Structure 1
Amino acid sequence: MDGNAAGATRPDVKLVIAKKENTPFVKGRRKFFRYRDLGVSDATGGTMRAQVMEAITGMTEPTGWHVHHCQAQFIYVLKGWVELEFEDGTRTRMETGDAGLIPGEMKHNEIATSDDVEILELSIPGPMGTTPCDPPAARG
């Protein structure tokens, strides 16, 4: 028996094991982070993406307001901390063990990080574009 419910078909997802020694950190969209692709995008045909972001240095300036073009972005802080602000007025400092789900197209700004921050980031779908945007309108 294959473990699937009777008549169920397995999703078109491949098994992937990302070993640290085979998935090196590389440069990416932020100059103060390096990124490690965990192979999920290839294994899911782009349905989902997973990567680890690690600080090269702490942030020297906020990222600026931006949106990500995806359905959702999930972040889990593995080490250190990151400060974020969102279009709805939420401002938070996420520390080791904290997690957040950011809806796609939601305006947000990364304000600061610790020098040792590490974050696991997932997005659906896998390709996730980033576009700078104007800050949200002032709330009164």
Structure 2
Amino acid sequence: MDGSTAGGTRPDFRLKIAKKAETPLVGGRRKFFRYRDLGIADATGGVMRAQVMEAITGMTEPTGWHVHHCQAQFIYVLKGWVELEFEDGSRHRMETGDAGLIPGEMRHNEIATSDDVEILELSIPGPMGTTPCEPPAGMG
């Protein structure tokens, strides 16, 4: 197959089906989460990353203000809830079925989670660094 489609040339991505029992747990940013890699970074050559974050325990304290180095981070709450605050002063409690797109480099802080939260997280591009930062003016 030449990779062409009706709309042009197909991206150089591979089909990837991730069965939960076969997806590895990987290291992650937070000690209260278990991270399950879905193999999407490998299948897309690093263009996108997908993982599921599962609570080991609920948060005991906020993560602190930080930014992610990517174009965008997409989160979808599979179970439970997470509460976040953003540099624009908004605060959101996202519950099961809620989704959000966080632009890369946008300052935010995870404030609290339920003890059973599970979140699907996608980032583009795949590698997503995280750096602590100062809170926005007036937000501490």
TM-score higher than 0.5: yes
Return the letter of the residue paired with 1:82: V
- Spell out, residue by residue over 1:74-114, the C-alpha distance to the aligned partner (whole angstroms, 9 max, x if none): 00000000000000001010000000000000000000000
Q: Distance in 2 between matches of 1:107 and 1:29?
A: 16
1:27 Cα deviation after fit = 3.7
Q: Distance in 2 between matches of 1:28 and 1:9?
A: 35
TM-score by length of 1: 0.94
Task: Map residues 73-84 of structure 1 onto 2, 5 A cutoff.
Answer: 73-84=73-84
Return the letter of the residue paired with 1:41: A
Return the letter of the residue paired with 1:83: E
Task: Map residues 1-140 of structure 1 onto 2, 5 A cutoff.
Answer: 4-5=5-6, 8-138=8-138
Return the letter of the residue paired with 2:84: L
RMSD: 1.7
Q: Indicate if the aligned counterparts of 1:47 and 1:125 stay in contact, CA closer than 8 A.
A: yes
TM-score by length of 2: 0.94
Return the letter of the residue paired with 1:127: P
Local SS of the residue matching 2:21:
helix
Consecutive unaligned residues in structure 1, runs of 5 or more: none
1:3 Cα deviation after fit = 8.1
1:138 Cα deviation after fit = 1.7
Return the letter of the residue paired with 1:67: V
Consecutive unaligned residues in structure 2, runs of 5 or more: none
Return the letter of the residue paired with 1:91: R
Q: Distance in 2 between matches of 1:95 and 1:25?
A: 24
How many aligned positions are there? 138
Local SS of the residue matching 2:9:
coil
Q: Distance in 2 between matches of 1:137 and 1:45?
A: 38
